[in-house]
Structure formats: structure tokens, C-alpha cells
Chain A
Amino acid sequence: MTENFEPTIIGFTCNWCSYRAADLAGTARMKYAPNVRLIRMMCSGRLDPTFVLRALSGGADGVMITGCHPGECHYIEQNYKALRRYLLLKRVLKGMGIEPERVKLVWASAAEGAKFASETTLFVEEIRKLGPLNWGKPTERLDDLQEEISKTEEVPA
């Protein structure tokens, strides 16, 4: 069943390190698995764990969080806060019956384009082994989807 399975992965990247690492991988034309779609944030510390849950419930099979190496955070120490939340989130996921391995934290500096590329490919393979998450794939719940779309489109006053 999983042989032709192409996982969809959402990546949350830090603007200062890993997003630039992704840029560098691009500039150097390094090839990696095309399954990851990135969201840029100013810091891995910005990662609200609900973002991860939203991604997983919205059809992603895995979530990759990338930040600066410990001690190299652009905002001094906020990546440690990301680390704490990540560890807690993994416990929560386990409690919910979701493999905690579907979420991965990777440290990649702006100079580590090669690491970004190889970690991405590696993570895609790991998720491929786990198989699809099938948590609220949009095609399964069209009506719910409509409702949710309307919610997200509401602009708070």
C-alpha cells in the first residue's frame, strides 16, 4: 500500500538559518525530495504547537521543524524554547495515538545547505515508512472542509 505513497510534509523554518540553508541548497543546485513545503518564520521559537496539529489534521503526513543550532539562535536562546515545546508536543502526539516520529526537529545553520537537503530526504523516507496519516484528508470530509474554510477566511476584527 505504501509503495506508491508520496508523503506530504510541512516544514517550519527559521528565517535566519534553515530558510537560508534551503536557499543555499537551491543556489548550489543540491537535489532533495520534493515532498516538503516550507513556511518561513522569524524563529523556531515562533512555532505554536497548534500549527503542527493543524498541519497534521489538515492532510500533512509529517512536520519538519528547523532552527538554528543550540547556542546560535539569532534571538539568543529562543530555539531552546522550540526544543522544549517540541519534546512536549511529541508526548501529546503519542497520547493522541499519532506516531511522534511524524514530527522532527532539525538544527541547520545558514551554511548547511547540504545538511538541509539530506535531512529533508531522510525525513521523507522515514515518513514513507510510517505510511499515510489519513487524519482528516480533505477528500474524506468535504462538508467539514467547507465549514473550516469559512472559519479560516474570517478576518478577526
Chain B
Amino acid sequence: MSEIKQERVGVYVCHCGSNIAGVVDVVDVANWAAEKLKHQGVVIAREYKFMCSSLGQELIEKDIKELGLTRVVVAACSPHLHEKTFRTAAKNAGLNPYLVELASIREQVSWVHTDKAVATEKSKAVVSGAVSRVIENVPLEELKVPINPNTLVVGGGIAGIQAALEIANAGFHVYLVEREPSIGGHMAQFDKTFPTLDCSACILTPRMVEAGTHPNITLLTWSEVEKVTGFVGNFNVTIRKKARCVKEELCTGCGICEEKCPKKVIDDVFEAGLGYRKAVYTPFAQAVPKYPVIDKANCTYFLKGTCKACEKFCPTGAIDFNQQDELVNVEVGNIILATGYDLFDARRVSNYGYGRLPNVFTSLEFERLSNAAGPTNGNIVLRDGKTTPKSVGIIHCVGSRDKNFNNYCSVICCMQGLKFAHLVHERTGATVYNFYIDMRTAYKAYDEFYQRVLEEGTLFVRGKVAEVTDAGRNEREKGKLIIQVEDTLAGKQRRIPVDMVILSSGLQPRADAKEVGKLFGISCSTDGWFTEKHPKLDPVATMTEGIYIAGCAQGPKDIPSSVAQGAAASARVLDKILQKEVALEPVRASVDQEMCSGCRICNGLCPFNAISFLEDRMVTEINPALCQGCGTCVAACPAGAISGTGFSNEQILAQIDGLLLRNIEPVEA
């Protein structure tokens, strides 16, 4: 009976140094497989220190050639790590790569169990399952699909701009989608950038202009992605271009409409609530594109039906109150998400008084305050708009490294706090206090900047601020904001009166990050940042082929890192585009039309519209290019007419039996 099988299986058990061998008796597992699974076709079972090493791979390649192996099982780490390695090794030796199975005895056994005997027994079962399964594997060929050379970049901050420019400069078309009326992102709001103190606008706006005028970039501002279908190489994206109420083809960006608009609105986006804009506006002078937007929620015409001042004065007749949202459909091969971050809402730390005590500012408010193009022309003044502070307290880690809010470090706040200290010192001569938990100034030239700020005479108090209050206890504290803090270096409580408090608020995921992730089919970490494929080795790719992430959408980071990630993501996209086609895993469902009864049960199950019914022949057909390989239809077919390659019924049933050790040769009682 055991002669029925013609397959010749090789089993390779990896020690992974001591990672596996420390808990699992690998020699026992290999010997057991050689003996008990012999009737299944196991002709050789070896153990080796590192199967993934080139020597380990050569061992397998040699056996395939010399022993004529037709199936290979590698008992090692998770298939998500080394499946490709061993498939490639098999391919090099002339064996179809899909005839290799990995048995995960590291992630699923040695790392999670402690009892050596139990772990060894479980390893045997897992190996047995893999052997039974691999016998049912069939040779498969990768599916090749062409890659659309166009790319979609979502988010027009510095990371998105960088990514778009790199791809456009390489000669490929990019659709850059931005939710706000102008690209530029948070960086456009900043005054100076640490540690060099470059003027933020001076270094950013040339990039913005380049992106805005690049022949290979289609800029879609005041727009949002609404729907994404398809898969790597062939995404179909629907973008809602919100009505600007300004005809872009006629508008010259002269700004007369903005000047004549009688309606002033508090600008809580770009000016962080410190300044005003009009109801028809461009967010800032260097905005790209230059066309304004009519804010329908505040425009007098939309509210009361009269006014139309902008229309009256527009020299080119570009105002169009009847403009409707437009749905733009684009076909792209790859997508980069650079959707950025939201600032932590400092109101949540109620003991710091933001929103209640007027002279407590957030970091973004201070950026606008110190910006020469901001509401105070760069004068650092209190909320009354005229008084220059004589003393300023900067509180670090607001909402970060705090179990009540976000556990993580927001990365940029230490350097931001130091930058603020320098700017306050330089422009007002005020006494500056920095309240920090730990000073984190890693990366190039950052610590040197810290030294510089120290030398400038800024005072540093190590301790988490307990409270900011305006309840003065004596003359010295009267009319001031008092910062109550435990100075952990001096070991005592301090009350420090200041005129102004700046909260170095942390970064947090966009409020809609989860929905956006769902739209593009990628996941978020428990903190809410987009999850990268590998935290170290694949930081800009995601689990979904063809979708990449860059900048703060992936986690808090500073400008240089955001730019680096934007460029890295574009390199990955260019790599895909230049390959011209992409190989898809051949995990697909197909219908045996001889067996199909035409019951149509499967027809409604596919979310990708891969299943169609052939009315003339009364049978169902599956389009392999649209099929994503989930296998739901395979499980549903009552006639058993649908088979799923890579995860066929035969493979899974055999693996069940193998895992339950129903395949071992019955020993004589």
C-alpha cells in the first residue's frame, strides 16, 4: 500500500542556532520523520544548524539533484520569513518552487513553548502535517500581470511631494492628491526647521512649485480618494474633486476675490486658530496651486443667497457658484500613502490648562506665532497680541510617553522644544525653561544643537510638569502662569512663574487613519499608525502589494526621515514600474466546468467580481486576473467543482490527517 506514492520527499529540520534546537530535539524530529514517514515517501531527513544559510540551501539543492527529491519540507521559521528563500533554492535545483512547504517550528513551537518533550512532539506533528500536505502540492507557475506605470500619491506634505517628484523625474506619471486647498502639509506652517534653523518655507516652496508645474504630475488638491479597486499593477481609483467654486482654467490667482470678500473666518487649519482668512481663500501666499477655494460653510452667498462680491470683482469671471463635486477616475499601478499626522489635542491634558488659560500655546500655535508670514508677523507675543513675554516655559512630552494618552515617544518634540527655546531667546531675550522627562537628541547634528541651546542660557528642569495654573500664591506669582513641577535632579518641588507656556504636543495618527487604511486595504498598529511590512527591513512597504507608506502616516518622524521615506517609497514603486510586470502568487480558484452544476451559489460570494456565470452554457467561470485567492467560493461549492491552487481540499485534508498523526505507519502492538 505504501508503494502507491511515487513522491520522494526530503525533510530538513533547522536548528536556527539555539532558537529551535534549544527547545526542540531536532535530531529526534529528523530521525522520527525518516522512520515514521518513510512510507509516505520521505527518503531523507536531515537537521542542520542554519537551513537558510547558503550551505543549508546548497544541502537541499544537492539532495534534489542527487536523490531525485520531488517534494521538500523545511521545518524552520514562519513561511512569512523564509518561504521565498527555500522556494528559490528549489527552483535553482530544477524543482518547481511550489513543491516546497515550510513547517513553522520556531514561531509556533520553540519560541512559545518551554517543555522540551512536548515541543519535540508538537514539532513532529507539524512536520508530519507538512509532509502530508506537500505530497498533495502541485507544480504552479506565477501569474504575470502588466504594471500600469502611473502612480497615485495620497498626501501633499513633504513626504508625498518628495515621492511624487522622484517618480515624476524618472519619467513616470504621478497623481498627487491632497485634501487641503494647497500642498505643503505641516511643513508649510513651520517657521524654522531644526537643527539648522533653515527657513521652512524657503526650502519647501521650491519643491512645491516644482511639484505644481511638473509635466509628469497631475495635482488634485481639495480632493479625496473615495474608492479603490483592483490590485497591484492595476488599481482603479475614484477621487472626489470637491467643488472649489473657482474655474481653474480661468483663474489667474490674482487674489482680488480674497481681498474683496467681506467675510472673515478664523483659520483653524493653517493658522492653528491664531489668525483669520476670508471665506474665499488660498491658505497661504505661496500656496500651490494658486487657485483659491470658496468655503461654502462660511460664504455669505451660500448662507444667505446674496453678496457675490468675489464674482463681481473677479477680472476673469472665474468664480462659479454652481460648480459641483467632480468624480475623477484614474488607473494606477502603485499607491503611496503619505497622509501625515494630527497634532495631539492638548486640551485633553486638562491640568496644563490649554484652552482655559489664554497664554498656554500649542507647538503649532507657536510655529505660527514665530513665523514671519504668520498672524503676528513673527512677533512672539502673548494672546493679547502685544505683550512680549519675559519668561517662557516649554513643556515636553505633552500627550506622549504618557500612559493616560499615548505610550509612544513622538520623536520630534525634544528638538522642537529646543528650537522654540532658541527662537524665544533670540527674539525676545526672555528667560526660557524647558521641562523634560528625558532629552532625546539622537541623529546628525541634533545633540550639537542641544549644546548650543544650553550655552545660550536656556534653563532645563528634568521632571514631568504636574500642573500649569494661574492661581498665584504670592506677589511673585501674581498674574503669572505657575508651572508646578518636581525637579527630579534636585529632588524637590518647584513652582516656576512664567508669562507664557508652550506645550510641545505629540503627534498622533490622523483621526480617519483607520478608515483610510481600510479604503486601501492596509492595517493600522494598535496606536493607529499604518503598519509596515517589516519594522526594520521593509519600512515603506505594506502587507498589501502595490501600497506603500511614507512619512508620519507610518509613525512619528522628523522632516529628514519623512523625506527619506518618501524617496524610499518612490524607489520601490520605480522598481515595480521598471519590471513592467508583476508576478502574482498563483493562489487562485478555478472551476471545473464539467463538474459545475450551474447552481450559482458561488456567484454572490466574490467581492472582487471575479466570478461570472456563462448563461449560454449554464456554468460558472472565474477570471484569474481578478481572483485574489481567498478561497471562499472553493469552500462553498456543493459540487466540489471549484478548486483553489495552493490551498486545495486535498492539501488541507492531508495536512489535517498529518497533524493528527493519522499518516504514520501503524507500529506493531
Q: Which residues of A contact B (CB under 8 A)?
A: 8, 10, 16, 19-20, 22-23, 25-27, 29-32, 34, 37-43, 45-49, 51, 54-55, 58-60, 71-72, 74-78, 81, 85, 109-111, 117, 138, 142, 145-146, 148-150, 152-156
Is A42 a contact partner of B629 (Cβ separation < 8 A)? yes
Nearest Cβ distance between residue B515 and chain A, in whole angstroms? 10
Binary interface encoding of chain B residues 646-660 relative to chain A, with 1 for a CB under 8 A from any of its CBs, else 0: 110110111111011
B119-127, B295-303, B471-479: which lies at the A interface? Answer: B119-127
Among A58, A78, A85, A110, point to the contact of B656 (Cβ < 8 A): A58
Q: Which of B355-397 contact A (CB under 8 A)?
A: none
A130 to B652, CA, bound (A): 26
A97 to B521, CA, bound (A): 41
Is B119 a contact partner of A34 (Cβ separation < 8 A)? yes
Judge if B134 is at the interface, Cβ distance under 8 Å.
Answer: no
Nearest Cβ distance between residue B9 and chain A, in whole angstroms? 13
Is B650 a contact partner of A22 (Cβ separation < 8 A)? no
Among A8, A25, A41, point to the contact of B660 (Cβ < 8 A): A8
**Chain B interfacial residues counted at CB < 8 A:** 62
Chosen A-B contacts, 13 in total, with CB atoms closer than 8 Å, are A10-B659, A37-B122, A38-B108, A39-B655, A43-B630, A45-B630, A51-B653, A54-B653, A59-B660, A71-B518, A78-B605, A81-B632, A138-B662
A24 to B544, CA, bound (A): 18
**Complex contacts, B451 vs chain A, CB 8 Å:** none
A32 to B650, CA, bound (A): 30
B56-64, B91-99, B280-288, B523-531: which lies at the A interface? Answer: B523-531
B44-52, B110-118, B153-161: which lies at the A interface? Answer: B110-118
Is A58 a contact partner of B662 (Cβ separation < 8 A)? yes
Q: Which residues of B contact A (CB under 8 A)?
A: 1, 4-5, 78-80, 104, 106-109, 111-115, 118-119, 122, 125-126, 129, 132, 135-136, 518, 521, 523, 525-526, 531, 543-544, 587, 605, 607-608, 628-632, 634-636, 644, 646-647, 649-650, 652-657, 659-663, 666
**Complex contacts, B126 vs chain A, CB 8 Å:** 37
Is B607 a contact partner of A54 (Cβ separation < 8 A)? no
Nearest Cβ distance between residue A29 and chain B, in whole angstroms? 5
Among B4, B125, B662, point to the contact of A145 (Cβ < 8 A): B662
**Complex contacts, A40 vs chain B, CB 8 Å:** 79
Task: Answer whether A111 and B526 are a contact pair too, CB < 8 Å, given A20-B80, A45-B631, A59-B662.
Answer: yes
Is B78 a contact partner of A23 (Cβ separation < 8 A)? yes
Among B521, B525, B531, B653, point to the contact of A74 (Cβ < 8 A): B521
Is B656 a contact partner of A117 (Cβ separation < 8 A)? no
A138 to B661, CA, bound (A): 9
Nearest Cβ distance between residue B348 and chain A, in whole angstroms? 24
Is B112 a contact partner of A39 (Cβ separation < 8 A)? no
Is B136 a contact partner of A111 (Cβ separation < 8 A)? no
Task: Tell me the nearest residue of chain B to A110, going by C-beta.
Answer: B523
Interface centre among B104, B114, B125, B631 (most CB of A within 10 A): B631
**Complex contacts, A85 vs chain B, CB 8 Å:** 635
Task: Tell me the nearest residue of chain B to A76, going by C-beta.
Answer: B607
**Complex contacts, B136 vs chain A, CB 8 Å:** 155
A117 to B113, CA, bound (A): 11
Is B107 a contact partner of A22 (Cβ separation < 8 A)? yes
Interface centre among B115, B531, B644, B652 (most CB of A within 10 A): B652
Among A23, A46, A72, A76, point to the contact of B635 (Cβ < 8 A): A46
A78 to B606, CA, bound (A): 8
**Sample of 20 further A-B pairs with CB below 8 A, known A153-B5, A153-B135:** A10-B660, A19-B78, A26-B107, A34-B119, A37-B129, A39-B652, A42-B630, A42-B646, A42-B647, A43-B632, A46-B635, A49-B635, A51-B652, A51-B656, A54-B656, A58-B657, A60-B656, A81-B632, A149-B657, A152-B653
Task: Answer whether A16 and B543 are a contact pair too, CB < 8 Å, given A41-B631, A75-B628.
Answer: yes
Is B660 a contact partner of A32 (Cβ separation < 8 A)? no
**Complex contacts, A76 vs chain B, CB 8 Å:** 607-608
Nearest Cβ distance between residue A157 and chain B, in whole angstroms? 11
**Complex contacts, B607 vs chain A, CB 8 Å:** 75-78
**Complex contacts, B659 vs chain A, CB 8 Å:** 10, 37, 39
A41 to B631, CA, bound (A): 9
**Complex contacts, A42 vs chain B, CB 8 Å:** 587, 629-631, 644, 646-647
**Complex contacts, A109 vs chain B, CB 8 Å:** 523
Nearest Cβ distance between residue B187 and chain A, in whole angstroms? 30
Among B78, B646, B653, point to the contact of A26 (Cβ < 8 A): B78
Is B632 a contact partner of A78 (Cβ separation < 8 A)? yes
A132 to B119, CA, bound (A): 21
Task: Tell me the nearest residue of chain A to B646, going by C-beta.
Answer: A42
Is A149 a contact partner of B663 (Cβ separation < 8 A)? yes
Nearest Cβ distance between residue B74 and chain A, in whole angstroms? 15
Is A48 a contact partner of B523 (Cβ separation < 8 A)? no
**Complex contacts, A55 vs chain B, CB 8 Å:** 656, 660
**Complex contacts, B587 vs chain A, CB 8 Å:** 42
Task: Tell me the nearest residue of chain B to A55, going by C-beta.
Answer: B656
Task: Tell me the nearest residue of chain A to B648, going by C-beta.
Answer: A156
Is B657 a contact partner of A152 (Cβ separation < 8 A)? yes
Nearest Cβ distance between residue B123 and chain A, in whole angstroms? 10
Task: Tell me the nearest residue of chain A to B607, going by C-beta.
Answer: A76
Among B5, B125, B531, point to the contact of A37 (Cβ < 8 A): B125
